[in-house]
């Protein structure tokens, strides 16, 4: 499939928010999010923000899906850490290698970074794809405080 990866733009808002609602209501995500969080995330993606970047996967003007990366520093590895946050494809575009190309695209931009992501165990296909791309399952107990 011949598609391009580009940064999110203001005009993408309605379609991105719609995809975010679908993504966060699916089994692929542990939390459900909210419209307010989706709007905040989108706005951070289109602004000059040092922590979050948003990308669109597009073919001939048709949005296929989107991805977001969050930037931090890993003291464990002594270098920048790129978290693959939202990775969403519309169902009809899944299985076409888009996520693999996107991950490779980000790895080229941030070639010295360590890369991390989270996936629900029930999302077996996504876990398979990520392992195929070189990601390893970590034995961590992840915790959260809100």
Percent of the chain residues topping a pLDDT of 70: 99
Beta strand residue intervals within the chain, DSSP E: 4-7, 52-59, 62-74, 79-89, 114-117
Stated pTM of the model: 0.89
Structure tokens at 66: 């989107």
What is the average pLDDT score of the chain? 92
Tell whether the model's pLDDT for residue 1 goes beyond 80. Answer: no
Query: How far is it, in rounded angstroms, from Cα 40 to Cα 136?
Result: 30
- Give the confidence band of 3 by pLDDT, cuts at 50, 70, 90: very high
Specify which residues 4 forms β-bridges with: 58
């Amino acid at each position: 499939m011949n598609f391009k990866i580009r940064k999110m733009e203001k005009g993408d808002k309605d379609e991105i928010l719609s995809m975010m609602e679908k993504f966060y209501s699916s089994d692929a995500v542990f939390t459900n999010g909210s419209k307010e969080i989706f709007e905040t995330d989108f706005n951070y993606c289109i602004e000059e923000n040092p922590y979050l970047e948003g990308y669109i996967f597009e073919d001939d003007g048709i949005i296929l899906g989107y991805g977001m990366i969050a930037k931090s520093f890993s003291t464990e590895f002594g270098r920048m850490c790129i978290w693959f946050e939202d990775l969403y494809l519309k169902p009809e575009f899944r299985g076409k290698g888009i996520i693999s190309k996107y991950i490779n695209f980000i790895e080229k931009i941030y070639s010295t970074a360590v890369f991390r992501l989270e996936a629900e165990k029930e999302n077996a296909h996504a876990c398979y794809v990520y392992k195929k791309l070189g990601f390893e399952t970590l034995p961590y107990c992840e915790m959260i405080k809100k």
